[in-house]
Each structure stands twice: as structure tokens, then as C-alpha cells.
């Protein structure tokens, strides 16, 4: 009788160990999938930041800069007038 109980307990223990091993395997897969998603998100976020910085650099490089003895407002008006002379469609005072 003790042998039968011992065999049953060993079988139940084996079943539980197998179940634990399966759960650990699933957990490791989930961790790996999460890590891949996290790395992809970080890469995407870094790419967005780089794009934003590139855009800011392009924008700042095209802003009119006042020269010595010239106000920024004068410089902007000069740029607008130059644009107006290039295109008849351009209007400083758009409605």
C-alpha cells in the first residue's frame, strides 16, 4: 500500500514538475517577445527624435538672421518682399 501511494505521489510530482517547466517556457517566450517589442519601440522612438532634430535643424537653418545694423523685422520683411517678387501669387497680407 505504501508503494502504491509513493508511486502516485511520484507521478503527481512529475506531472507538477512538467507543468512548471511548461509555464517557465511560456514565461521565457513572453519575456523574449516583450523584450523585442520594447527594443522596437525604443528604436522607433529614437528615430522619431532624430527626425524631429533633423527637422529642427532644417527649420533653424532657414530662419532669417538679422545682420549687424539690421533688425530681425527688417530682415523678415526683406525675405517676404523677395518671395513676393519671385511669385505673383505670394502675398504678404494674405486674407
Residue 89 — very low, low, confident or very high, per pLDDT cuts 50/70/90? low
Whether 17 maps to a domain, the answer reads yes
Q: What is the pTM of this model?
A: 0.45
Task: Name the more confident of 86 and 82.
Answer: 82
Q: What pLDDT shows up at residue 62?
A: 55
pLDDT over 70 (residue 25) = yes
The number of distinct structural domains making up the chain is: 1
pLDDT over 80 (residue 87) = no
Whether 94 maps to a domain, the answer reads no
Whether 4 maps to a domain, the answer reads yes
Buried b (16+ CB within 10 A) or exposed e, 4-23: eeeeeeeeeeeeeeeeeeee
Whether 92 maps to a domain, the answer reads no
pLDDT over 50 (residue 95) = no
CA dist 1 and 13 (Å) reads 18
Whether 66 maps to a domain, the answer reads no
DSSP the chain: -HHHHHHHHHHHHHHHHHHHHHHHHHHHHHHHHHHHHHHHHHHHHHHHHHHHHHHHHHHHHHS--PPTT--HHHHHHHHHHHHHHH-TT--SS--
User: Which structural domain range is residue 26 located in?
Assistant: 1-61
CA dist 73 and 65 (Å) reads 10
Whether 68 maps to a domain, the answer reads no
Q: Model confidence over 36-66: pLDDT tens digits? A: 999 999 999 998 888 888 776 655 555 555 5
Amino acid at each position: 500500500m505504501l508503494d502504491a501511494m509513493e508511486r502516485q505521489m511520484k507521478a503527481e510530482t512529475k506531472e507538477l514538475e512538467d507543468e512548471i517547466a511548461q509555464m517557465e517556457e511560456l514565461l521565457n517566450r513572453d519575456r523574449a517577445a516583450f523584450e523585442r517589442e520594447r527594443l522596437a519601440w525604443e528604436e522607433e522612438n529614437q528615430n522619431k527624435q532624430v527626425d524631429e532634430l533633423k527637422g529642427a535643424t532644417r527649420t533653424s537653418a532657414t530662419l532669417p538672421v538679422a545682420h549687424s545694423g539690421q533688425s530681425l523685422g527688417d530682415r523678415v520683411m526683406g525675405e517676404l518682399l523677395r518671395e513676393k517678387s519671385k511669385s505673383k501669387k505670394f502675398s504678404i497680407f494674405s486674407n
